[in-house]
Amino acid sequence: MKKVLRSNFEPGTSRWATRRAQWLALGLSDADMEKPKIAVVNSSSELAICFSHLDGIAKVVKEAIKAAGGLPFEIRTVAPSDFIVSAGAVGYILSARDLIVNDMEIAVEGAQLDGMICLTSCDKTPPAHMMAAGRFNIPTIIVVCGYQPSGTYDGKHCDIEDVFLGATHKLMGKISAEQLQGMSANAIRGPGVCQGMATANTMHVVCEAIGMALPGSAPVLANSDKMFADVRQAGARIVEMVLEDLKPHSILTPGAFHNAVAAVLAVSGSINAVKHLQATAVETGLDLDVFGLFEKLSNKIPVLSAVRPNGEDTIEAFEQAGGARAIMKQLGDLLDLDAITVTGKTVRENLAGITVANEEVIRPVTRAYSYKPSIVILHGTLAPESAIIKLGTSKDKTLAITGPAVVFENGLDATEALKAGAIKKGDVIVVRGDGPKGQPGMGGSAGMVIFALDALGMSADVGLVTDGQLSGLCNKGLTVAEVSPEAAVGGPLALVENGDRIIIDVEKRQLDLDVPAEILEQRRARLGTPVLAKHKGYLSIYQKNVQPMSTGVVLIDNK
């Protein structure tokens, strides 16, 4: 029986006639218009190296779709690159994630296309593509478009992490301007996302682990023969998925989210994956507490790899060892092996016969890098809803600190205080106002504080608490991020004053403000009803509509 496509309008109707006129003028034939119509979602941009190669990938994937009997239509979205777009306002980064989803909706749902191939790259495109797949529920494959090759400087490996860290070390007087300039000139040697297990590569692993990318496709060197082979396979597979009617709601199940969370914990991935997965669950219509899932699995899933910044292994070594598929193979029965993937097969079937190429890079569960949780969700009087801390692979990382608060309204002021010697061992730095509504869009100014502490050798001796997010490259010290509710909406973080006793205890999952309740009530009365700083343009729309951290900070409440 011939598949009925939603894109094929009834002949003789107005919609059929007007669209046919448009598409005939584009050079399409009546036969073309009967084929499965596939959106090729492309965030190509000349602004950033992470997106600069996507036009070439789009060309190849369109050829593969045509060869498989489909009709590809390339659509464009905004291309948010953290190091580029944040120059105007750091809030543009996270807020762009949801803008991409809505941008896709206008083209894909407006034109009633039959399926999607999403060319996923820098940090915010992978979650945006998963969120869109969950919202639209049409056959979708996410194509991982690869990491950038790095270079060397002064005889040592050099990538964007070194430049990011080095910039703050230079500010603190620990390296020279010439050294930073040399690192910057050598860190990136081609297109693709940042090296290391930062947010982009973490989310690429997530796309495969959750079943939305082809097995064995993440991570991958950008523009490599392997990447283009995966691209062609995806182009052929998406046409089959449309004809099979295999949709995201059959893939994005609770079991699939279990697998994605397990993979993030096993690679000690970016904490940003927590909110991105929660947002995907919300957009998919699942009543699923991803924060709770991280809590549940954190003590069960060991750390099986140590890619920079968690250890000294490179992302190339991780790919060569087998990447996401090898991590999943090692996790084995700790996964939901019956979850369906874009192949139409289960995880169990996809992993059958797979071996791990290097068990020193991707270790078995019996010989893990660490059996401590790599990501921990905290609660307490300072974080009634949630807060997140990343432990990484360190077996001797500080797990608790109790000390007086030193409060700042932005990370730059905190960094200057560190430079001036105003912060002492045992203090707990508070950086607030960086939350979803306060920034708006979530800031990451605490990142420079982390690197400043590292430059001064104080990472193990000073706590840091913020309602902002952290770069996936930040993996040092006892740093608690994404405290919710945020300060800007009157969360307890807004009530903290210098000298207040703050308790961070990872083993107890505790983040407390040790101040009597009656004192806090007096402070809240003085503070009054929170008033958000006004913004213009898109950020004002985002600020008014963004939902709390418990939703993954989705822009629109779909309930």
Task: Specify the amino acid at residue 163.
Answer: V
Task: Specify the amino acid at residue 396.
Answer: D
User: Encoding tokens for residue 155?
Assistant: 């005889």
Write the pLDDT tens digit of every residue in 35-56.
999 999 999 999 999 999 999 9
Q: What are the two backbone dihedrals, phi and then psi, of residue 429, each rounded to the nearest 5 degrees? A: -75, 135
Active site residue 298: no
pLDDT band, residue 558 (cuts 50/70/90)? low
Task: Find the mean pLDDT for residues 301-305.
Answer: 97
SS (H, E, C) 132-175: HHHHHCCCEEEEECCECCEEEECCEEECHHHHHHHHHHHHCCCC
Which region among 68-72, 169-173, 181-185, 516-520 has the lowest average model confidence (pLDDT)? 169-173
Task: Find the mean pLDDT for residues 91-105.
Answer: 95
- Give the DSSP H or E segment for 18: helix 14-25
Task: Find the mean pLDDT for residues 237-248.
Answer: 98
Catalytic residue among 471, 484, 540, 550: 471
Write the pLDDT tens digit of every residue in 357-370.
999 999 999 999 99
Write the pLDDT tens digit of every residue in 16-40.
999 999 999 999 999 999 999 999 9
Taking 70 as the threshold, does the pLDDT of residue 383 lie above it?
yes
Write the pLDDT tens digit of every residue in 505-543.
999 999 999 999 999 999 999 999 999 989 999 999 999
DSSP 550: G
Phi-psi sector, 504: left (phi>0), alpha (psi -120 to 50), beta: beta
Task: Specify the amino acid at residue 537.
Answer: G
The CA-based angle 235-240-246, given to 5 degrees, is: 110
Residue 412 pLDDT? 92
Of 266, 558, 523, 174, nearest in space to 166 by CA: 174
Residue 86 pLDDT? 84
Query: What is the chain's mean pLDDT, rounded?
Result: 95
pLDDT band, residue 432 (cuts 50/70/90)? very high
Of 228, 185, 237, 198, nearest in space to 53 by CA: 228
Q: What are the two backbone dihedrals, phi and then psi, of residue 321, each rounded to the nearest 5 degrees? A: -75, -15
Write the pLDDT tens digit of every residue in 249-302.
999 999 999 999 999 999 999 999 999 999 999 999 999 999 999 999 999 999
Taking 60 as the threshold, does the pLDDT of residue 341 lie above it?
yes
Percent of the chain with pLDDT over 90: 90
Task: Find the mean pLDDT for residues 179-208.
Answer: 96
DSSP lists the bridge partners of residue 408 as 431
**Cβ within 8 Å of residue 461, ≥6 positions away:** 398, 425, 426
Evaluate the CA torsion angle 313, 319, 324, 327 in order and state its sign.
negative
More confident residue, 395 or 540: 540
Is the separation of the CB atoms in 205 and 193 below 8 Å?
no
Helices marked H in 88-149: 92-111, 125-136
Q: How far apart are CA 401 and CA 525, in angstroms?
A: 29
pTM of the model: 0.97
Q: How far apart are CA 217 and CA 208, in angstroms?
A: 7
Residue 392 pLDDT? 79
**Helices 272-284 and 254-266, axial angle in degrees (round to 10):** 170
Is the separation of the CB atoms in 430 and 446 below 8 Å?
no
Q: How far apart are CA 195 and CA 150, in angstroms?
A: 7
CA dist 310 to 2, 8, 544, Å? 51, 50, 37
pLDDT band, residue 559 (cuts 50/70/90)? low
- Is 33 strand, coil or helix? helix
Task: Specify the amino acid at residue 330.
Answer: Q
SS (H, E, C) 515-536: CCHHHHHHHHHHHCCCCCCCCC
CA dist 305 to 157, 207, 408, 479, Å? 19, 18, 35, 21
**Structural domains in the chain?**
35-149+190-351 (3.40.50.2300), 153-189 (no CATH), 375-533 (3.50.30.80)
